Amino acid sequence: MTDIATEATEWFQQHWDPAMPLGDWWRLLADSGFAFPQWPEGFGGRGLSGRDAKAVQEARRAVGAYGPPNGVATFLVAPTLLVMGTPEQQQRYLPGVVDGTTPWCQLFSEPTAGSDMASLGTRAVKDGDEWTVTGQKVWNSGAHYAKCGILIARTDPDAPKHRGVTYFLIDMTQPGVEVRPLREMTGDAAFNEVFFDDARVHDSDRVGADGDGWRIAMTTLSFERDPGNAGLGDTAAFYEADLTVPVGKHAEREKAAADGFSIAMSGRAGEVFDGALASGLKRSSDPVLRDRLARLHVDRTVVGLTGRRGAANMKATGQPGPEIAGLKITGTETGRNVRDIGLEALGAAGMLWGDDVPDGGLFHRYAMFTPAQSIAGGTDEVLRNSIGERVLGLPREPDEAERRETPWKDLRRS
């Protein structure tokens, strides 16, 4: 056992108390540097290597201690601010991320700017030391309880679509922000649409230069697509937490209430899949199914190893390169295979829906969510284009070069 693993084990054995309020536990975890071990000291981490951070995580799990916060705040906002934010922005916002007191949402996609996100039309107009924001965003996970959001908005309609965008940190609790939940086919409502009507953002909450938002947004998306993201934990990713509840009771409630989204984003998909197979394969001796299962096990192992290698080979800037798109596509394909093989292994029970299905329906909820994985964080088609153009050096679409230089206001939009 390494020195850091020994230290972490001793710390968790000494401090873990399921009767402690959730908020107190998260604050204690952040202060120890064991919340997000790869992050810098003072921001819930210790600046550890990926290998040492994994040793800390394994020590926590072995003790049975609950993990740190998880969600947009931890795997999108914090990594982006650590790379692109000012020291003042980091000091102001990161403490609320690591102790779970400030949930965030992502405000990128729009009804007419999904795969072609650069054509977004939400406007931000400068007004003294502030910006006035008007427009609509959609597919905003956790926006119904978020206190803050990362927002990209059009600040220069005369510039080409990729160059007239600016990146902001916006207060979601202010007047002028309306959140409407969207019900999915899973029955859950993790996604939302958000309307801005003269909402305000102070210029100190602008990340990067005016007009440089597209580059910063791509930084955020590179973290979203990275399975080795140091801010991606094993607790529920999109779940409104009551910080006064005992942490042990919160963990029990979370497990019972987990939806497909939370399962997929908390790293529990493998656990849920293994549970489904354990019950399904007891009734199956089909050699073809078992062969498919063996192939899937290899795929999952390769994705995990590649993800760790990609994290170790990050650019000097601290963010993943365009190659990460390949990992995201592979992970999505693996998710679909997990769904198909798991449902088949369950036999007739795989066709059921409700609380009386095996494992309380956890696997079924995950299975219903898997189509969204081909869309979230960039569609498979867009990511394949990105690999072709930015990794393999293939030419862009014939009219793309001209469109990239056309002022946004002159582009044809639906």
- Which residue numbers are catalytic? 224
Question: Pick from 183, 202, 118: which is nearest to 157 by CA?
Answer: 118
Three-state SS at 169: strand
Three-state SS at 166: strand
Report the C-alpha gap between 29 and 313 in whole angstroms. 28
C-beta of residue 180 within 8 angstroms of C-beta of residue 190: no
Please report where in the chains the tokens 């990146």 appear, as a residue. 167
Q: Quick one: residue 154, left, alpha or beta (phi over 0 = left, psi -120 to 50 = alpha)?
A: beta
User: Which structure tokens are listed for 104?
Assistant: 């965030």
Read off φ and ψ for residue 86, nearest 5 degrees: -80, 160
Dmax over CA atoms of the chain, in Å, equals: 71
User: Which structure tokens are listed for 220?
Assistant: 């955020």
